[in-house]
Amino acid sequence: MSALHQKRIADWLVTTPENQEITVSGWVRTKRGNKDIAFIALSDGSTINNIQIVADLSKFEEELLRKIQTGCSLRVTGNLVASQGAGQAVDLVASQITVLGEADAETFPLQKKKHTLEFLREIAHLRPRTNTFGAILRIRHALSFAIHNYFNERHFYNIHAPIITGSDAEGAGEMFRVTTLDASNPPRKEDGTVDSSQDFFGKDANLTVSGQLESELAAMALSRVYTFGPTFRAENSNTTRHLAEFWMIEPEMAFFELEDNMDLAEDFLKYLIRYAMEHCADDLAFLEKRLIEEESQMKKEDRNPMALLEKLKFVSEQPFERLTYTEAIQILERSGKKFEFQVKWGVDLQSEHERYLVEKHFKKPVILTNYPKDIKAFYMKQDEDGKTVRAMDVLFPGIGEIIGGSQREEDYEKLSRRIDEMKIHRESLWWYLETRQYGTVPHSGFGLGFERLILFVTGMGNIRDVIPFPRAPKNLEF
Ligand code: 4AD
Ligand code: MG
């Protein structure tokens, strides 16, 4: 039978065993047994659960049996029967075993003992073969699919924003340069600076920090759109919440005001969490158990107040708390808590402030709005008071900011003035400004950090452990 039509281990594990002959392929997780019989746990990554292969040693060559070690790959044909042992419903009684690829169990980096996540990061090429990363990769896939599903069902169009850009969407200037010039001997202008007119694009080029600006252009024609692509930030922050390359989902909607934007963000996040609970139950149960074990080594106050599934259910059911930045500052000032970073109106909130609001004060997700204009991007719609803008950040327990967004400034004059005030190079944004000159409309959007969502759903502690190959300062091995 063509491999295309072969059932996976996940399928056989839920099939009624009737002594039918089947074939499976996968990697050996463990092998145990006695002088008569071997029990081999085989995984093909289709589920967190392995299929148990039972091999009567008298039926196989010693040479073959010796080669079956942790890490090697096998194709096994045999009969599917009800398991005699506890722990699994079915066994595969092997009649034919082929070793596809050997692995020396002595040197194979993934040993039976538990490895630290730090160590697994150093062997990122093999960590998908662990239970934890298998679960995370399946959940990433499920949520990626759910995101497209959510928007498709609501008639949003998926727009592919470019990855190479000539503008700085967030105006924060933390971008990776893209160039084909010879780094050791670039062409120079008379004043000694690099002459980028001779570079590939004839001007400076960067990797995008956000697909928003292009998304806005499309929303001005298709009304509801979204992007889901990689974004790059050269901020040198070595934290458990930042990557230099991460994936972002950015919906952008014409005719949406800030309230509508918040409604969408809340509904979207709840949908995704419920989707994971429904479609990734086995993987989440495994990750919950893992987390409980890990936390049993920690001090009580460092443990999560809720187990993983309880937390997911709670967040998917509770209305999020909505308040303004100004109200949040008052709460923080009155808290009597000593923060490392000072709290006063006008400062950017640090993760310790965000987490206090979410985890200690409200004990549920929070949407903060109307931030001071000086700490937010140029494109956000200005409030009447002249001090704040229609920004919204969604803050999650254990994560801090998971979504950042806003209503956009649709007024040409106001936007234009703000660009000048913030000393942004307006020539490079002429096309963006034109959308405000030709048929401008109120519109809004936001960006969800995909890895922060995965962090929350999996209960993992470090963002480098929820992306296959993390990109971070001084980190580019795989
Ligand atoms: O708040 P940010 O910077 O917003 C934007 O980029 C807007 N253009 C979005 C929009 O309105 N369309 O980033 C959005 C989200 C953050 O809330 C966070 O979840 C995630 O992206 N994020 C990061 N995730 C991982 N590593 C980083 N370095 C991140 N920076 C932002
Ligand atoms: Mg932000």
Query: What is the three-class DSSP state of 59?
Result: helix
Looking at the CA of 219, name the nearest ligand: 1
- The alpha carbon of 417 and the centre of ligand 2 are apart by a number of angstroms equal to 22
**b/e burial code for range 144-166 (CB count within 10 A of at least 16 → b):** eebbeebbeeeebeebebeeebe
- The alpha carbon of 377 and the centre of ligand 2 are apart by a number of angstroms equal to 9
Q: What is the pLDDT of residue 170?
A: 75
Atom of ligand 1 nearest to the CA of 402: 19
Q: What is the pLDDT of residue 217?
A: 97
Relative orientation angle of helices 258-279 and 281-295, to the nearest 10 degrees: 90
Give CA–CA dist 9/315, Å, rounded. 33
Beta strands 388-396 and 366-372: pairing type?
A: antiparallel
Atom of ligand 1 nearest to the CA of 244: 28
Give CA–CA dist 329/179, Å, rounded. 43
Q: What is the pLDDT of residue 425?
A: 87
**Residue ranges of E strands in 174-279:** 206-207, 224-232, 245-254
Residues of the chain with CATH 2.40.50.140: 3-110
- The alpha carbon of 449 and the centre of ligand 1 are apart by a number of angstroms equal to 6
Check: CB of residue 321 under 8 Å from CB of residue 262: no
Residue 274 tokens, joined: 């419920």
Which residue is associated with the tokens 């004060």?
361
The band of 192, judged by pLDDT with boundaries at 50, 70 and 90, is very high
Atom of ligand 1 nearest to the CA of 453: 19
Dmax (CA) for the chain in angstroms is 85
Element at 218 (helix H, strand E)? helix 212-222
- The alpha carbon of 257 and the centre of ligand 1 are apart by a number of angstroms equal to 20
129-174+209-465 has which CATH code? 3.30.930.10
Give CA–CA dist 150/153, Å, rounded. 5
Q: Got the DSSP string for 143-201?
A: HHHHHHHHHHHTTPEE----SEESS-TTS-----B---S-TTS--B-TTSSB-GGGSTT
Q: Given its phi and psi angles, is residue 346 left (phi above 0), alpha (psi -120 to 50 degrees) or beta?
A: left
Residue 240 tokens, joined: 């458990």
Residues of the chain with CATH 3.30.930.10: 129-174+209-465
Pocket test for ligand 1, best of 452, 463, 464, 471 (most atoms within 8 A of CB): 452
Q: What is the pLDDT of residue 167?
A: 81
The whole-number average pLDDT for the span 132-136 is 98
Of 87-91, 148-152, 463-467, minimum mean pLDDT range: 87-91
Strand partners, 250: 227
Nearest to 296 by CA among 307, 312, 285: 307
The band of 373, judged by pLDDT with boundaries at 50, 70 and 90, is very high
Query: What is the three-class DSSP state of 40?
Result: strand
Is 168's pLDDT higher than 80? no
- The alpha carbon of 55 and the centre of ligand 2 are apart by a number of angstroms equal to 56
The whole-number average pLDDT for the span 201-213 is 95
pTM of the model: 0.97
Q: What is the pLDDT of residue 110?
A: 93
The whole-number average pLDDT for the span 5-14 is 96
Q: What is the pLDDT of residue 196?
A: 94
Q: CB 467: neighbour CB atoms within 10 A?
A: 21
Query: What is the three-class DSSP state of 427?
Result: helix
Give CA–CA dist 366/319, Å, rounded. 9
The whole-number average pLDDT for the span 331-336 is 96
Residues 6 or more apart whose CB falls under 8 angstroms from that of 72 comprise 27, 28, 99, 100, 101, 102, 103
Check: CB of residue 413 under 8 Å from CB of residue 442: no
Evaluated on CA atoms 124, 128, 131, 133, the torsion sign reads: positive
Is 112's pLDDT higher than 80? no
Residues 6 or more apart whose CB falls under 8 angstroms from that of 272 comprise 143, 146, 147, 150, 453, 457
Check: CB of residue 466 under 8 Å from CB of residue 455: yes
Residue 49 tokens, joined: 């659960």
Check: CB of residue 443 under 8 Å from CB of residue 416: no
Q: Ligand 1: residues whose CB is within 6 Å?
A: 169-170, 210, 212, 233, 242-243, 246, 248, 250, 401-406, 445-447, 449, 451-452
Is 388's pLDDT higher than 80? yes
What mean pLDDT is reported for the chain?
95
Is 172's pLDDT higher than 80? no
Q: What is the pLDDT of residue 114?
A: 84
Query: What is the three-class DSSP state of 10?
Result: helix
Q: Tell me the CA distances in angstroms from 332 to 179, 266, 343, 353, one per residue in order.
A: 45, 24, 7, 7
- The alpha carbon of 100 and the centre of ligand 1 are apart by a number of angstroms equal to 44
Query: What is the three-class DSSP state of 103?
Result: coil
User: Side chain identity at 46, as an amino acid letter?
Assistant: S
Domain spanning 3-110, CATH architecture: Beta Barrel (2.40)
The protein residue whose alpha carbon is closest to atom 25 in ligand 1 is 242
Residue 369 tokens, joined: 């709005």
In the structure, ligand 2 is a single-atom ion and the residues with CB under 5 Å from it are 404
HSE at residue 72, side-chain half, CA atoms within 13 A, is 22
Is 463's pLDDT higher than 90? yes
Looking at the CA of 400, name the nearest ligand: 1
- The alpha carbon of 32 and the centre of ligand 2 are apart by a number of angstroms equal to 51
